[in-house]
Amino acid sequence: MGFLKQVLATFIGVCIAAVVLFVIMLIFIGVLIQQTTSPQKAAAVPANSVLYISLNHAIVEKTENNPFEELNIPIYGGERSIGLNDILRRIQSAKTDDNIKGIYLNPTTVGVGFATLKAIRDALADFKESKKFIVAYSDAYSQKAYYLASVADSVYLNPQGSLDFRGLSSSVVFLKDALDKLGVDMQVIKVGTYKSAVEPFLRNDMSPENREQVTSYLQSIYENFLLGIADGRKLEKDSLRTLADAYLIRNAEDALKYRFIDKALYKDQLLSELKRRLAVDEDKDISAVSLLSYTGGLETSSAKDRIAVLYAYGEIVDGEGNFSNIGGDRISRELRKLRRDKDVKAVVFRINSPGGSALASDIIWREVELTRREKPVIVSMGDYAASGGYYIAAAADSIFAEPTTLTGSIGVFGIVPNFKGLLNNKLGIHVDEVSTGKFSSLMTDPDRPLTAEERALIQTEVDRVYATFVARVADGRQLSTAGVDSIGQGRVWSGAQAVSIGLVDRLGNLQEAILAAATKADITNYKVVELPEKEDPFAQLFSTSKDKIKSWILKDKIGEYEKYLIDVKQLLTNTGIQARIPYTVEIY
């Protein structure tokens, strides 16, 4: 009887779980159907409104579908995100929207690179040409947040708030000692004096060459950072450097003294200031619409001629990839479609990538080269277009970058982990095998080091890929192979530096690249289309569920340290020879 009760209880429990799962799936599908079939209504913007911009949420290169972002569903919902493309478009629309009288900018931290940050800042500067106001206010400004806020007409800070201004820094996490303790030997084969992507596995500090290149591009980015603030606040750039070196600005009192802010205000005082600018009575509420909700009123062109903006962002990977990376097959297919489309008169290839698979990079390069023979191809670089990211740009007619873009890194490497110490000595695990040839077990046996002959074979292949990379750049940029090699060797350059050495044609944003494409194609009446098209929510849900769940669990447990484990995993699991920027470059 007890056994039957247990069986019955188990059966009922399974049935209840199945019903609950079925109901959840119905809710998911219902939301998806509603999101995909219901027309998207623009948020109503009352007259005399302000556009509220915080940017304290995820910012990606291009807005993607997430039908669950409004719902408090773990993994899929709750986290709002917006693409840079829509941020710029909405600010541009607000410039001519009669209902929008000004912008209330409220940044605290901004989690994007400096090139993306500058693009947003430039859009805000363009908005000011409408003679509408921009007011910036925060309880605390990070350095990136203040760089953005400095474009405003008036900058305010909470009287007890902080303003961080101490100069930029870039740090790297090194793993050699940890790997030694685990008994893991990372066998690296590379080309490039500056190809430091693998340094975290081999050292406990930066090599002199890596320190040289980081110092160089960091100073270049710092110059542009200071220039932007100096221009926005009408201050001398050299005085800003002095203030940062001495760390003289830390709080509201300091910021007011050195003219970094116009006033120290509490939130109620800030609201009164906004009401004064809007001519709203003190006892009335301010009408505001958030950037996330605002869709703007820009008219779409009905012109037949088109300029296609093809977005490629994330790691470059073999195969299809997904919306968060650059699959060699997927992006190549998009380029082939654009090449055959007679209505597309030019292609703007928007790249924001640290690189990745050398093979996938070459596959994409080939399609860019073929497309350029049929119609103009202009590259627009985001925060990164380095190593493989530069490889896929090299064949374009012209390359645009922001001054703070990180690019170049023309170099390649291969990495073969040897787990002998970990498996044999730490875990007591041994591997034995039978092979049919001398090199049958090359890179398949996890518990032995490479032989000298095996290492030489891999080095030959790495050298071959590097020579091909250099040749692609030399041909695309009309430089000598010796000249490319001299500025290659894995070295990373800022966009401003890349112009001076011939890797980039012009400093400019995406809109300027689009205008250049129109000029090259000799068209004036055209429609801009963005590709790849947004992924179907059903496909996105089921194709990335496992990855999303794993990422969500990892981030929930270890927070911001998740990114370091992801970096290690990518380098350990990437197959083939890699053309990738050194580690994850973060500048604070």
Q: Residue 504's Cα: distance from chain center in Å?
A: 19
| Residue of 195, 345, 375, 420 marked active site | 195
For residues 167-195, give the mean pLDDT.
Answer: 90
User: Which sequence spans correspond to the domains of the chain?
Assistant: 306-432+441-534+559-580
Told to judge if 550 belongs to the known catalytic residues of this protein, a careful annotator would answer no
Flag whether pLDDT at 446 surpasses 60: yes
Q: Tell me which of 93, 380, 387, 409 is the catalytic residue.
A: 387
Q: What angle do CA 80, 82, 109 make, to 5 degrees?
A: 75
How confident is the model at residue 432, as a pLDDT? 87
Q: 201-257, pLDDT tens digit by residue?
A: 899 999 999 999 999 999 999 999 999 999 999 999 999 999 999 999 999 999 999
Write out pLDDT tens, residues 465-519.
999 999 999 999 999 999 999 999 999 999 999 999 999 999 999 999 999 999 9
How far is Cα 247 from Cα 514, in angstroms, rounded to an integer? 41
Q: What is the dihedral of CA 505, 507, 511, 516, to 10 degrees?
A: -30
Which of 8-12, 42-46, 292-296, 476-480 has the highest mean predicted lDDT (pLDDT)?
Answer: 476-480
- Contact status, residue 209 vs residue 196, Cβ threshold 8 Å: yes
Give me the pLDDT at residue 4, please: 47
| pLDDT over threshold 60, residue 32 | no
Question: Which among 519, 521, 496, 491 is positioned nearest to 508, based on CA atoms?
Answer: 496
pLDDT in tens, 323-382: 889 999 999 999 999 999 999 999 999 999 999 999 999 999 999 999 999 999 999 999
Residue type, 269: Q
- Which DSSP category does 269 fall into? H
Q: Cα–Cα distances in Å, from 229 out to 152, 238, 399? A: 10, 11, 27
Distance CA 517, CA 376 (A): 7
Number of CB atoms found within 10 A of residue 410's CB: 30
Residues 123-128: contacts with CB under 8 Å, at least 24 apart: 123/87, 123/88, 123/91, 123/92, 124/91, 124/148, 124/151, 124/152, 125/151, 126/91, 126/92, 126/95, 127/91, 127/92, 127/94, 127/95, 127/103, 128/153
CA atoms of 209 and 265, how far apart (whole Å): 47
- Count of other CB atoms within 10 angstroms of residue 366: 16
Cα separation, 571 vs 415, in Å, equals: 8
**φ/ψ bin of 535: left (φ > 0), alpha (ψ from -120 to 50), beta (otherwise):** beta
Beta carbons within 8 Å of 428's beta carbon, 6+ residues apart? none
Integer distance in angstroms from the first to the last C-alpha of the chain? 67
For residues 521 and 345, is the Cβ–Cβ distance under 8 A? yes
pLDDT at 296: 80
Tell me: pLDDT of 571 over 70.
no
CA dist., res. 250 & res. 244, Å (int): 10
DSSP 8-state secondary structure symbol assigned to residue 587: B
Distance CA 157, CA 253 (A): 10
Q: Which residues contact 261 (CB under 8 A, 6 or more apart)?
A: 155, 156, 157, 163, 252, 255
Query: pLDDT confidence of 547, banded at 50, 70, 90?
Result: low
Under the banding of pLDDT at 50, 70 and 90, the label for residue 192 is confident
CA distance 159 to 137: 11
The tokens describing 251, both together, are 């709080």
Mean pLDDT of 165-177: 92
Instruction: Report the C-alpha gap between 370 and 379 in whole angstroms.
Output: 15
Band of residue 317 on the pLDDT scale cut at 50, 70, 90: very high
In this structure, the chain runs to a length of: 588
Residue 310 near residue 331, CB atoms below 8 Å: yes
The reported pLDDT for the residue numbered 355 is 95
The secondary structure of residue 41, as a DSSP letter, is: P
Other Cβ atoms less than 10 A from the Cβ of 337: the count is: 14
Which range, 389-403, 542-556, 565-579, is most confident?
Answer: 389-403
Contact between 394 and 385 (Cβ < 8 Å): no
Residue 3, pLDDT > 50, answer: no
Say whether pTM exceeds 0.85: yes
- Distance between CA 476 and CA 482 in Å, rounded? 14
Q: Is 328 helix (H, G, I), strand (E, B) or coil?
A: helix
Tell me how far apart the alpha carbons of residues 571 and 568 are, in angstroms, rounded to a whole number.
5
Q: Which two tokens stand for residue 460?
A: 């030959």
Q: How is residue 59 written in tokens?
A: 């910012």
Residue 101 annotated among the catalytic residues of the structure = no
Helix H, strand E, coil C: the string for 137-163 is EEEEECHHHHHHHCCCCEEEEEEEEEE
Task: Give me the phi and psi of 283, to 5 degrees please.
Answer: -90, 5
From the list 323, 309, 317, the residue with the least C-alpha distance to 63 is 323
Average pLDDT of the chain? 87
- Report pLDDT for 37: 47
142 in Cβ contact with 168 (< 8 Å): no
Q: Give the list of residues 6+ apart from residue 224 with CB closer than 8 angstroms, or none.
A: 114, 118, 403, 404, 496
CATH topology for 306-432+441-534+559-580 is 2-enoyl-CoA Hydratase; Chain A, domain 1 (3.90.226)
